[in-house]
């Protein structure tokens, strides 16, 4: 019994000892080294995944996507882990279509990490994955796509590789579009696979907001197409076309030439990427006469039928001679705007006086930014009247000696179109958050009343005369609609020699349509055209074509119904639905009427002679109309009637 | 007399019951220990099974989440492709070149006021 008792005692002590050892070890592992060991363990089975911000999309006013984001892969290397750089560089260069030497240089770099190529295509990424090479890996990175290509490129802007907006709307609303960078931690198994034992709630990182713009893709396309055609035809340097809704200030189209494709922004120069509608200012020329006309009418200084003597084309003022393109004698006020007489407007400015004139220039928004929500807007150059020299009153009257952005000019005309209110233009309608909530919304904003409704209505009717037969803007006339507008042909300053350049001009047309209840205001500005420099010839037809297409797109009924063509017979299929065999012939010029519009009298005669075309001339100056129209079927024995003006 | 005999009998019966109760106690204890042991083992198994289920569901979730991500990516790709296909520039060039369409002439479009 005694021996058994001793054995039990020994066993007890042994077990107690063991228990103490185990307990001590447990205290050491759990309490003393607990935090450290837990960290080590987590490092083995927990992994943090970084989620890059997911940019919101950009849409036009009809919901057409203008910018979308997608995840793409970027290929990197850890050079010290690559065993055979020669073989690897060959394989990678084949997949990524790069030079093998270039790849090898990266693979043998003495750096722990190098990018081989960022944002590769999905096909390339798949091939890299199949390669499964040690030391080569891929990261997910967001890539921005602009599915409409160069459409509104300068306005939309672009983002850099790090998904940050760098220009245009992408920059202006970057804080809304960008989205949040986040991360989530998940367990991983021995093979490195993700095991979401905590559920998926933690995975949701809110993406950026979608931006809905005021742009209309169809109108934007028309504006870009027509602007480009005119610039190529008249061999101009650059151009801008803007279409605005006059009662709200919404920008429907903003076209720039040269165009710019944000998908390949690195291939374009800063010059091409510039949004000239807001970043460049020009001397507006005769389009500015409307501002003086509005001021003079509002102040009661002139009436519509007041007569002015236009000095037969030469007027001595403040020691300088002011010229008109064509000599005129006595003209009523409405007519001096129609024929755009510099002398007539100098006399109107003399009656108004410079202080009152300046007050209206400022009221119309010149010399200050319009507040449009795109970056880089400039205010233009406007000197205070105290600094004007004696001649400045006259030069300001016909839009020289000051500068304005195309956006300022179009908004000034919008004020006349909407009954006298200067609106703040905007391109962003609303920002919509990931849950569909509206985070930011632009509403029409009246900056101030500039002129009374009565003056605006009177001025609209005078501006309509400009686009009728005999007016400088005749070529802006849209079939079935009354157009109110004004042409401009401004001299360009010569920065090298001072004064104005001998041949450089800015041709423009600004107007609104339908004149009685305007639906859109549009400006077309062509910089340094070579073939012809007159706004009425170079810019007015662009306005007409854009307005025609836009009004059709907006389903605006014409005031004067155009004659309905005879119904096609059963034997003659509809023209629009059949392939036209004459298209090619017309393109080759075999049986199509050649285009004479825009040519001077001498150029038209030379062209007619070289093409052996019989022409009949009506008027003098530049060809503004031809019958049959360019591209129509041409008979060799026919006579081409050319109407000239300007 | 009769009452003294009855009292003795009752005492004897109580003693007998007490003795049998003493005999049953260790048996019951063993029974409870077994129940407790089995219960504990069951709980451990349940915990392990639940843990395995959580891990299994974690894998399922991970796979489904990857699939969702892939489908979203595919959806974005298709949206981009659709937008490219329906861009006004492409549609106009197709209409003109392939179908030979042209802008409607005067009076061919009638907008009802």
Residues of B in contact with A123 (CB under 8 A): none
Q: Is A563 within 8 Å of B107 when comparing Cβ atoms?
A: yes
Q: Which of A156-170, A266-280, A598-612 comes out lowest in average pLDDT?
A: A598-612
How far apart (Å, rounded) are the C-alpha atoms in residues A522 and A410?
7
Average pLDDT score over chain A: 87
**Greatest mean pLDDT range, A257-271, A377-391, A621-635:** A377-391
A156 close to A58: Cβ distance less than 8 angstroms: yes
For chain A, first and last CA: distance in Å?
137
Which has more confidence, A557 or A228? A228
Give the containing element (helix H, strand E) for B54: helix B2-85
**Which of B50, B59, B61 to mutate to probe the A interface, most A CBs <10 Å?**
B61
**What confidence tier does A562 reach under pLDDT thresholds 50, 70, 90?**
low
Residue among A277, A309, A525 nearest A380 (CA): A277
Condensed to tens digits (0 to 9), the pLDDT of residues A305-364 reads 999 999 998 999 988 899 998 899 999 999 999 899 999 999 999 999 999 999 999 999
| Option in B73, B87, B105 nearest A565 (CB) | B105
Judged against a pLDDT cut of 90, whether residue A288 lies above it is answered with yes
* Closest chain B CA to residue A151: B89
The encoded tokens of residue A555 equal: 């389903």
CA atoms within 13 A on the CB side of A61: 18
Cut 0.80: pTM above it:
no
| Residue whose entry in the numeric block shows the structure tokens 């001590």 | A24
| Residue whose entry in the numeric block shows the structure tokens 């001595």 | A316
Count of CB atoms situated within 10 Å of the CB of A597: 19
Residues of B in contact with A197 (CB under 8 A): 54-55, 57-58
Average pLDDT score over chain B: 85
Backbone angles phi, psi at B60, to 5 degrees: -60, -45
* Closest chain A CA to residue B53: A197
Interface check for A149 against chain B (CB to CB < 8 A): the answer is: yes
A398 close to A346: Cβ distance less than 8 angstroms: yes
The answer to whether residue B32 is domain-embedded is: yes
The answer to whether residue B110 is domain-embedded is: no
**What confidence tier does A497 reach under pLDDT thresholds 50, 70, 90?**
confident
How far apart (Å, rounded) are the C-alpha atoms in residues A27 and A15?
18
Backbone angles phi, psi at A118, to 5 degrees: -100, 150
The encoded tokens of residue B96 equal: 């003109």
The answer to whether residue B95 is domain-embedded is: no
How far apart (Å, rounded) are the C-alpha atoms in residues A535 and A398?
14
Sign, Cα dihedral of A570, A575, A579, A581 = positive
**Helix/strand/coil percentages in chain A, nearest 5:** 40, 25, 40
The answer to whether residue B47 is domain-embedded is: yes
Judged against a pLDDT cut of 70, whether residue A564 lies above it is answered with no
**Which of B55, B107, B109, B110 to mutate to probe the A interface, most A CBs <10 Å?**
B107
Judged against a pLDDT cut of 60, whether residue A570 lies above it is answered with no
How far apart (Å, rounded) are the C-alpha atoms in residues A471 and A334?
11
Residues in chain A: 646
The answer to whether residue B90 is domain-embedded is: no
Known active-site residue A122:
no
Judged against a pLDDT cut of 50, whether residue A588 lies above it is answered with no
pLDDT value of residue A442: 94
The answer to whether residue B15 is domain-embedded is: yes
The answer to ipTM > 0.90 is no
Count of structural domains, chain B: 1
The answer to whether residue B111 is domain-embedded is: no
The encoded tokens of residue A74 equal: 């970027």
How far apart (Å, rounded) are the C-alpha atoms in residues A296 and A302?
6
Structural Rg of chain B based on CA atoms: 45
User: Mean per-residue pLDDT for A216-231?
Assistant: 95
Buried b (16+ CB within 10 A) or exposed e, A434-464: beeeeeeebeeeebeebbeeebbebbbebbb
Which has more confidence, A528 or A195? A528
Which residue segment(s) compose the domain that B27 sits in? 2-85
**What confidence tier does A396 reach under pLDDT thresholds 50, 70, 90?**
very high
pLDDT value of residue A585: 38
CB-count burial class (<10 Å; 0-12, 13-18, 19+) for A232: exposed
How far apart (Å, rounded) are the C-alpha atoms in residues A270 and A276?
11
How far apart (Å, rounded) are the C-alpha atoms in residues A3 and A557?
120
pLDDT value of residue A578: 40
Q: Which of A137-141, A471-475, B62-66 comes out lowest in average pLDDT?
A: A137-141
User: Mean per-residue pLDDT for A445-471?
Assistant: 94
| Option in B65, B76, B104 nearest A576 (CB) | B104
Condensed to tens digits (0 to 9), the pLDDT of residues A53-80 reads 889 999 999 999 999 988 888 888 988 8
Judged against a pLDDT cut of 80, whether residue A581 lies above it is answered with no
The answer to whether residue B97 is domain-embedded is: no
Q: Of residues A69, A74, A163, A286, which has the active-site annotation?
A: A286
A474 close to A468: Cβ distance less than 8 angstroms: yes
Condensed to tens digits (0 to 9), the pLDDT of residues A505-540 reads 999 999 999 999 999 999 999 999 998 889 999 999
Judged against a pLDDT cut of 80, whether residue A193 lies above it is answered with no
pLDDT value of residue A579: 42
CB-count burial class (<10 Å; 0-12, 13-18, 19+) for A350: middle
Residues in chain B: 113
pLDDT value of residue A625: 77
Residues of A in contact with B50 (CB under 8 A): none
Any long-range contacts for A357-361 (C-beta under 8 Å, 24+ apart)?
A357/A292, A357/A295, A357/A385, A357/A393, A357/A396, A357/A397, A358/A384, A358/A385, A359/A295, A360/A291, A360/A292, A360/A294, A360/A295, A360/A298, A360/A450, A361/A291, A361/A295, A361/A396, A361/A402
């Amino acid at each position: 019994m005694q021996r058994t008792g001793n054995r039990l005692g020994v066993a007890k002590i042994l077990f107690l000892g063991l228990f103490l050892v185990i307990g001590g070890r447990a205290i050491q592992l759990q309490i003393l080294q607990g935090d450290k060991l837990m960290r080590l363990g987590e490092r083995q089975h927990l992994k943090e995944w970084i989620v890059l911000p997911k940019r919101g999309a950009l849409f036009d006013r009809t919901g057409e996507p203008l910018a979308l984001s997608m995840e793409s892969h970027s290929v990197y290397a850890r050079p010290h882990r690559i065993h055979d750089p020669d073989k690897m560089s060959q394989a990678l260069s084949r997949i990524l279509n790069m030079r093998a030497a270039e790849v090898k240089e990266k693979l043998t770099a003495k750096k722990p990490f190098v990018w081989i190529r960022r944002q590769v295509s999905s096909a390339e990424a798949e091939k890299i994955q199949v390669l499964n090479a040690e030391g080569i890996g891929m990261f997910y990175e967001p890539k921005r796509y602009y599915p409409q290509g160069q459409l509104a490129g300068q306005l939309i802007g672009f983002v850099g590789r790090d998904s940050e907006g760098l220009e245009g709307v992408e920059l202006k609303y970057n804080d809304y579009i960008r989205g949040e960078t986040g991360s989530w931690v998940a367990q991983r198994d021995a093979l490195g696979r993700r095991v979401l034992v905590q559920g998926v709630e933690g995975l949701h990182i809110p993406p950026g907001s979608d931006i809905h713009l005021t742009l209309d893709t169809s109108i934007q396309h028309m504006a870009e197409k027509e602007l480009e055609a005119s610039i190529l035809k008249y061999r101009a340097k650059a151009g801008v076309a803007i279409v605005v809704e006059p009662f709200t200030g919404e920008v429907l189209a903003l076209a720039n030439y040269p165009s710019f494709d944000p998908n390949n922004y690195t291939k374009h120069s800063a010059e091409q990427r510039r949004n000239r509608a807001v970043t460049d200012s020009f001397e507006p020329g005769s389009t500015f006469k409307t501002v003086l006309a509005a001021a003079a009418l509002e102040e009661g200084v002139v009436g519509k039928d007041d007569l002015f003597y236009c000095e037969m084309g030469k007027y001595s003022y403040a020691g300088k001679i002011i010229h008109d393109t064509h000599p005129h004698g006595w003209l009523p006020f409405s007519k001096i705007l129609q024929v755009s007489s510099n002398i007539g407007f100098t006399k109107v400015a003399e009656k108004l006086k410079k202080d009152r004139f300046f007050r209206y220039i400022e009221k119309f928004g010149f010399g200050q930014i319009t507040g449009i929500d795109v970056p880089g807007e400039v205010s233009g150059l406007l000197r205070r009247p105290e600094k004007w020299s004696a001649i400045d009153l006259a030069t300001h009257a016909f839009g020289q000696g000051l500068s304005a952005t195309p956006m300022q000019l179009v908004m000034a005309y919008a004020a006349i179109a909407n009954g006298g209110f200067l609106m703040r233009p905007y391109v962003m309608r609303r920002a919509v958050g990931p849950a569909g909530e509206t985070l930011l919304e632009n509403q029409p904003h009246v900056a101030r009343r500039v002129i009374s409704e009565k003056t605006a209505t009177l001025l609209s009717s005078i501006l309509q005369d400009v686009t009728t037969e005999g007016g400088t803007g005749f070529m802006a006339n849209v079939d079935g609609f009354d157009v109110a507008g004004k042409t401009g042909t401004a001299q360009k300053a010569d920065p090298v020699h001072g004064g104005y350049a001998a041949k450089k001009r800015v041709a423009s047309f600004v107007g609104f349509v339908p004149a009685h209840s305007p639906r859109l205001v549009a400006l077309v500005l062509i910089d340094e055209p070579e073939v012809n420099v007159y706004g009425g010839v170079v810019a007015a037809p662009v306005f007409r074509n854009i307005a025609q297409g836009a009004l059709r797109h907006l389903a605006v009924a014409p005031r004067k119904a155009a004659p309905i063509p005879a119904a096609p017979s059963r034997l003659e299929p509809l023209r629009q639905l059949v392939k036209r065999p004459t298209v090619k012939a017309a393109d080759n010029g075999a049986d199509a009427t050649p285009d004479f519009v825009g040519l001077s009298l001498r150029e038209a005669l030379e062209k007619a002679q070289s093409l052996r075309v019989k022409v009949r001339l009506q008027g003098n100056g530049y060809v503004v109309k031809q019958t049959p129209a360019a591209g129509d079927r041409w008979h060799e024995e026919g006579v081409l009637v050319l109407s000239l003006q300007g | 007399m009769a009452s003294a005999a009855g009292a003795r009998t009752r005492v004897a019966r109580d003693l007998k019951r007490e003795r049998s109760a003493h005999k049953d106690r260790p048996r019951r204890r063993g029974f409870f220990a077994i129940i407790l042991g089995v219960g504990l083992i069951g709980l451990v198994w349940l915990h392990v099974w639940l843990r395995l289920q959580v891990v299994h569901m974690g894998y399922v979730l991970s796979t489904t989440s990857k699939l969702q991500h892939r489908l979203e990516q595919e959806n974005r790709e298709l949206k981009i492709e659709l937008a490219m296909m329906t861009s006004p520039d492409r549609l106009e060039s197709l209409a003109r070149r392939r179908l030979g369409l042209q802008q409607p002439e005067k009076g061919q479009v009638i907008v009802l006021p």
